[in-house]
Amino acid sequence: MHAEGRHYRDIASAILSRPDEVMLEVGAGGELLVARLRVVIAAMLLLLPLANAATGGQFNETLIGLAGAVFVNLFAQVWLALARQKRRYRWLPYGSGAFDVTATTIVLVMLAANHLPSGLNSMIVWCGYLLAIALTALRNDGRVTLFVGGLAVVEYAVLTAVVFHVASPEQLISSDYGTVSLGGQLQRMVLLAAFTLIMAMVVYRMQRLVEMSGTDGLTGLPNRTWLVHRFPRLLDAAKRDGMSLCVALIDLDHFKRINDEVGHHAGDRALMHVVDLVRDTLEDGEWLVRLGGEEFVLVLRKPLGTAWERVDGMRRLLYSRRFVPDQGADPLLLTFSAGVASFPHEASDLSGLLRRADQRLNVAKSSGRNRVLARDT
């Protein structure tokens, strides 16, 4: 029971926590997808009042539906324009999600003003809440899902309370929409809350899958997939802020010998020894990534000279801390060689930076290893 409770607390904590940069990057792409879907759905909504008119529906309801559809279409273009901006607005998922919910509520209010039962018993319009909540799953942020779902429950609860406050029992009976009952409205609120929780769990599962795809299984570091997806944003930020960005390609010296002499399990522990030492020294604006095997990339939001000092300091720290493969075994000396390249002076993209850093790494290897090169010799 304790383990189960801890599991639920971990899930709740993950959903309520601010996603890391990888998740936010995925969410930014999701917001653009949501904006495009909103445009398509808004265009489809224009068909509903036309269908209502073609099947003999009331003129007022057709007019309200058409006005609501036009309103949603206009704002769908605004949200799409904002989502296309290179700059990432943190408020945008909340603002556009709140719009989706509130637009549904406004249409229900207009229907209720025309005919009270239609405002609460119109299933087609009410499904707009479900659609708004479902779209939040594409944003990959559980906080947005809970916000939009909670807002839908609150707005619908307020609408229900107002209708039951101002309406007489006779006004809640309709030949077209049936009888509006308090129990039925409470059931709809429960359904909204349940659907919100389901979508939050979908987001949680998506986040775990993204984490697995962007995380190295052995070390827990970001992997090549993370680097490829995250680095363009780092470059954009460096361009925007006029800052330098450096990449250090790090390779452990003679690592194959460790695997051959003391075994692959000890080799894994040696990797963790290096990772733990380096990770403990990382500052803000520094990211350590494992490319594979004994090769790592260190991204530093620093000028070339400062980046060299940082990487060389890590090299000296590793040199001073011997690795003990097993209890009672002789300590082993671990060292690494590295090449450093900088943006924008030496390359303008990730592949160019890695190519330049690899050239310097090869020179460092051929010059005796256990050294960091940041300039061509």
Residue 161 vs residues 86, 120, 166, 185: alpha-carbon distances, Å: 42, 11, 9, 10
Q: Pick from 213, 247, 265: which residue ends a domain?
A: 213
Q: How high is the pLDDT of residue 321? A: 92
Contact 253, 372 (CB under 8 A): no
Same-domain check for residues 110 and 228:
no
User: What gap in Å lies between CA 46 and CA 40, rounded to an integer?
Assistant: 10
The answer to whether residue 218 is domain-embedded is: no
User: Residue 231: which pLDDT band, with cuts at 50, 70 and 90?
Assistant: confident
Q: Residue 345 pLDDT more than 90?
A: no
User: What gap in Å lies between CA 251 and CA 262, rounded to an integer?
Assistant: 19
The amino acid that residue 362 corresponds to is N
Same-domain check for residues 317 and 367:
yes
Same-domain check for residues 123 and 229:
no
Domains held by the chain: number: 2
Q: Pick from 213, 245, 260: which residue ends a domain?
A: 213
Same-domain check for residues 279 and 199:
no
The answer to whether residue 219 is domain-embedded is: no
The answer to whether residue 28 is domain-embedded is: yes
Q: Residue 369 pLDDT more than 60?
A: yes
DSSP 84: T
Same-domain check for residues 147 and 9:
yes
Same-domain check for residues 306 and 335:
yes
Q: Pick from 213, 244, 270: which residue ends a domain?
A: 213
Q: Taking all residues of the chain, what is their mean pLDDT, rounded to a whole number?
A: 86
For residues 208 and 99, the model is more confident at 99
Full residue range of the structural domain in which residue 93 is found: 2-213
Q: Highest mean pLDDT: which of 51-60, 124-133, 172-181, 257-266? A: 124-133
Mean pLDDT of 318-326: 88
The answer to whether residue 349 is domain-embedded is: yes
Q: Residue 2 pLDDT more than 60?
A: no
User: What gap in Å lies between CA 342 and CA 250, rounded to an integer?
Assistant: 15
Q: Residue 1 pLDDT more than 60?
A: no
Q: How high is the pLDDT of residue 191? A: 96
The answer to whether residue 188 is domain-embedded is: yes
Same-domain check for residues 235 and 204:
no
Q: How high is the pLDDT of residue 25? A: 58
The answer to whether residue 256 is domain-embedded is: yes
Same-domain check for residues 6 and 151:
yes
Same-domain check for residues 31 and 146:
yes
| pLDDT tens per residue across span 126-179 | 999 999 999 998 887 888 999 999 999 999 999 999 988 888 877 787 767 778
For residues 372 and 23, the model is more confident at 372
Tokens read off for 109:
């209010």
Q: Could you tell me the CATH number of the domain that includes residue 274?
A: 3.30.70.270
Q: How high is the pLDDT of residue 311? A: 95
Q: Highest mean pLDDT: which of 204-213, 261-270, 311-320, 322-331? A: 311-320
Same-domain check for residues 209 and 352:
no
- Percent of the chain predicted with pLDDT > 90: 41
HEC per residue, 191-236: HHHHHHHHHHHHHHHHHHHHHHHCECCCCCCECHHHHHHHHHHHHH
295-300 and 286-292 beta bridge pairing: antiparallel
User: What gap in Å lies between CA 104 and CA 119, rounded to an integer?
Assistant: 11
Same-domain check for residues 81 and 196:
yes
| pLDDT tens per residue across span 188-221 | 999 999 999 999 998 888 877 766 777 888 898 9
Show the DSSP H helices in 55-167 as ranges.
59-83, 92-114, 116-121, 123-135, 142-166
The answer to whether residue 202 is domain-embedded is: yes
User: What gap in Å lies between CA 204 and CA 171, rounded to an integer?
Assistant: 44
Same-domain check for residues 24 and 167:
yes
Question: How many alpha carbons fall within 13 Å on the CB side of residue 140?
Answer: 21
